[in-house]
Amino acid sequence: CSVTRPYRRVLVKLSGEAFAAPDGYWLSAQILAELAADIAATAEAGTQLAIVIGGGNIIRGARMTQAGWIDRPTADSMGMLATVMNSLALETALNAAGVSARTMSAVSMPSICETYARQPALHYLDRGQVVVLAGGTGNPFFTTDTAAVLRAAELRCQAVLKATQVDGVYSADPKSNPGAVRYDRLTHDEAIQRDLKVMDTAAFALARESRLTVIVGSVHAPSSVRAILQGGAPSTVVAP
Ligand code: UDP
């Protein structure tokens, strides 16, 4: 839909892979700076932003466990720590881009960053600060998609923007299926009935139950976060 609908408060979910350098190094300073500039411009335009970052550019717990020498909760702890590293990198880049940002971690590590608590997070958002939510949900066996939906519901966000490499939800995999069409709009029930992959199952179930709008869009192009939220870039909006 082409109608510009300004969102007042949004949670942006970034995959860890969004930070990775083309040569495979976990972090590209240039990509990070571009993303931070986009997020800063969106915040300056008046949208309150909370950000959840994954850790997939460093570690994914489930994948690590497949090697057989480490148990899942320990590997997931490492994954949560990876999200803290990404969060600190983004906080630094956001502050350099001129917007006040603070990292709050679901896993308590007071000498490194503040521990997440809902009331202070709401207060920072009201003040226009960007809140970077680290450590996922703080529990093993979950993903940062679930953390994103959980925090969005808790912090009364009007939408979760799942920023990926694809510009929306398609009827089939657009890479292998040239006839695949991108949906502009779906309900949660339609996405489930058509077996469309919006985010992981646990996360999407929570979004549906919370009646939370999920926007899927690509952060491949410059300034995409701002463009997607202002209706100037393609996306799929999943809403009740
Ligand atoms: N993780 C976890 N609990 C959470 C969120 C994340 O244990 O609530 C761990 C899990 O091992 C996961 C890793 O952190 O694989 C990185 O998160 P995710 O896979 O969601 O990152 P992304 O794919 O978005 O980069």
CATH at 71: 3.40.1160.10
Per the structure, the complete domain to which residue 116 belongs is given by 9-27+38-220+231-238
Q: Is residue 2 part of a domain?
A: no
Q: Is residue 66 part of a domain?
A: yes
Sequence-distant (≥ 6) Cβ neighbours of residue 114 within 8 angstroms: 102, 103, 104, 105, 120
Number of domains into which the chain is organized: 1
pLDDT of residue 150: 98
Q: Is residue 198 part of a domain?
A: yes
Residue 124 in marked binding region: no
pLDDT of residue 5: 59
What's the CA gap between 13 and 54, in Å, rounded? 8
Q: Per-10-residue mean pLDDT for the chain, 240 residues long?
A: 71 97 97 97 97 97 96 98 98 98 98 98 98 98 98 98 95 92 97 94 97 96 93 95
pLDDT of residue 2: 43
129 CB within 6 A, ligand 1: no
Token couple for 6: 């300004």
pLDDT of residue 75: 98
Token couple for 132: 């970077």
204 CB within 6 A, ligand 1: no
pTM greater than the 0.95 cutoff = yes
Instruction: For this complex, say whether ipTM is above 0.85.
Output: yes
Q: Is residue 32 part of a domain?
A: no
Q: Is residue 146 part of a domain?
A: yes
Q: Is residue 126 part of a domain?
A: yes
Q: Is residue 225 part of a domain?
A: no
Atom of ligand 1 lying closest to residue 140 CA: 7
Three-class SS of residue 114?
strand
Q: Is residue 213 part of a domain?
A: yes
Task: Using most ligand atoms within 8 A of CB, pick from 141, 142, 143, 162 the residue to mutate for ligand 1.
Answer: 143
pLDDT of residue 1: 43
